[in-house]
Amino acid sequence: MMKKILLILLGLALLFSLAACAAGPAPAQTDPASAQTDAAAEKLSVVTTIFPEYDWLRQIVGETDGVELTLLLDRGVDLHSYQPSVDDIVKISTCDLFVYVGGESDEWVEDVLENAANPAMRVVNLLEVLGDAVKEEEIVEGMEAEHDHDHEDEDHEDEEEGPEYDEHVWLSLKNAAAFCRALAGELGALDGANKAAYEANAAAYIEKLEALDGAYAAAVEAGNQKTLLFADRFPFRYLVDDYGLSYYAAFAGCSAESEASFETVLFLANKVDELGLSCVLQIESADGSIAKTVCDTAQSENLTVLTMDSLQSATAEEMAAGATYLSVMEKNLEVLKQALQ
């Protein structure tokens, strides 16, 4: 069903593209507004799906005038539930560079790219950039098993399912550095005149990423605890693996489940007591109910519920207020320090 809907959207997008072509060239104009439109048309069009990709590119582009960046998921929509609109498909189809994560949540991308109006488009798939470093999603002790991955497409019912990979690759600062190098390379290939500027901006930004990576390592080294407990989905596997931390969680990172069973709540509560934890963690989209129930069930007193931001659902308002990838990861570090005491 989802594939059929997407094909309809692709058809509509194609009609819009054909209509634009049928309109023919606009008559020559000399007014300033027309000049501004022409200048905008000459810019490289770069489209990203999620905020981390968008912000990395903002840092790499810097003051260079010649790139128009578009973020598709800027309304607080979670990556796992996002479906492109006709307008989104047109933006992707006609852009010069498209950047996306490449996991199961992005299965719709393949059909869009097959029908893209710009055959010269360059594409960056984050999972492909990581290659063998991509991790399969795992189910740890006490975690709710996924009851039903919502594969609606009847055409795939008889296909053998391959491994499901953890999509949350952007939550590793080490990965972020690798992505920035790749993105700078792609921009340089498209815009040779500014290649040196892109590479210099990327190098300066990567230094900041590496400095924050070092601060995370120091915080883990100084912490009394080496285990995190999430009464929620767990999208931070790449982060904890970077620093040798272990974890327990109610659900896997890409899980569609939202209600924890009594057995899961009891397991997590017992782990809180067993490990002597002082806090229970959740992600930014949680309503707090599972974390509260775990705290109420545990024997330990004075437990605190802390929130780490998985950067999956940033909004335009947050960006306007100054949010960046680094600022969010810095806030996550402060939460991590408290969780490890």
**Rounded to two decimals, what is the model's pTM?**
0.86
Q: How many CB atoms lie within 10 A of CB 63?
A: 6
Separation between Cα atoms, residue 75 and residue 92, nearest integer Å:
18
Separation between Cα atoms, residue 169 and residue 111, nearest integer Å:
23
Give the pLDDT of residue 258.
77
Is the Cα dihedral 158, 163, 168, 169 positive or negative? negative
Give the pLDDT of residue 160.
57
DSSP secondary structure string for all residues of 197-243: HHHHHHHHHHHHHHHHHHHHHHHHHH-S--EEEEEEEE--HHHHHHT
Give the pLDDT of residue 146.
66
Separation between Cα atoms, residue 283 and residue 221, nearest integer Å:
23
Separation between Cα atoms, residue 322 and residue 341, nearest integer Å:
29
Separation between Cα atoms, residue 212 and residue 210, nearest integer Å:
5
Separation between Cα atoms, residue 269 and residue 275, nearest integer Å:
10
Strand pairing class (227-234; 246-252): parallel
Tens place of pLDDT per residue across the chain (341 aa): 444 444 444 444 444 443 444 344 443 444 444 444 444 558 999 999 999 999 999 999 999 999 999 999 988 788 888 889 999 999 999 999 999 999 998 999 999 999 899 999 999 999 999 999 999 999 999 998 765 444 444 444 445 567 889 999 999 999 999 999 999 999 999 999 999 999 999 999 999 999 999 999 999 999 999 999 999 999 999 999 999 999 999 999 888 787 899 999 999 999 999 999 999 999 999 999 999 999 999 999 999 999 999 998 888 899 999 999 999 999 999 999 999 99
Separation between Cα atoms, residue 157 and residue 155, nearest integer Å:
6
Strand order across the 227-234 sheet = 246-252, 227-234, 279-283, 304-308
Give the pLDDT of residue 150.
44
* Domains identified in the chain and CATH numbers: 1-17+40-131+167-221 (3.40.50.1980), 223-310 (3.40.50.1980)
Give the pLDDT of residue 299.
97
Distance from chain centroid for Cα 295: 29
Separation between Cα atoms, residue 205 and residue 179, nearest integer Å:
12
- The SS3 assignment for 186 reads helix
Rounded to a whole number of angstroms, the CA Rg of the chain reads 22
The full 3-state SS of 231-246, as one line of letters, equals EEEECCHHHHHHCCCE
Question: Which of 266, 222, 230 has its CA nearest to residue 250?
Answer: 230
Strand order across the 97-100 sheet = 67-71, 44-48, 97-100, 122-125
